[in-house]
A = this chain, B = another copy of it.
Amino acid sequence: MSENLFLDDFTVGQRFVSGEHLIDEAQIKAFASQFDPQPFHLDDDAAQSTLFRGLAASGWHTAAITMRLMVQGGMPVEGGLIGAGGDISWPKPTRPGDVLRVESEVVSITPSRSKPQQGMMTVRGETLNQHGDAVQVLVVKMVVPRRV
């Protein structure tokens, strides 16, 4: 899809699938070193004795990769992807070697009463690994422009 969509172009239940991203141990450790320096994100041996039972990506790393996949063709919103907030959960850890993709569904569409040029759209995005397991579920409220 090459053309970006306005709020008026979306429909509830509409689905989008992103491209894929392969995450490896080096990426996991690099992100964790900078933003989440805990043993279970930095060292496979140290991670064995933790809740994770092996090296796992920071949840915020999974979130950041999810954003990258969304921006790069995951959902073509006019003006870009701007989130106001949402609910996030990580049902399973992201592991080295996982191939992630994002499957998104439009949950609700709400034109603004006070701002005729925009509205809010709620999107439920599942970040899935190569086995089809959800490693992240994000229900996010996005600001989306209208065709005016």
Contact = CB atoms under 8 A, between A and B. Distances in A.
B85 A51 contact: no
Interface string A62-73: 011101100110
A35 B37 CA distance: 19
Contact of A67 (B35, B84, B88, B90): B35
Contacts of A87: 85-88
Which size class do A's interface residues fall under?
20 to 34
Interface stretch (A4-12, A75-83, A102-110, A119-127): A75-83
Contacts of A35: 64-65, 67-68
A123 to B, nearest CB: 14
Interface string A21-63: 0000000000100111111100000000011000000111001
10 contacts: A35-B67, A35-B68, A37-B71, A38-B71, A38-B81, A39-B80, A40-B82, A60-B67, A64-B64, A86-B88
The 4 closest A-B CB pairs, nearest first, are: A85-B89, A35-B64, A38-B80, A60-B64
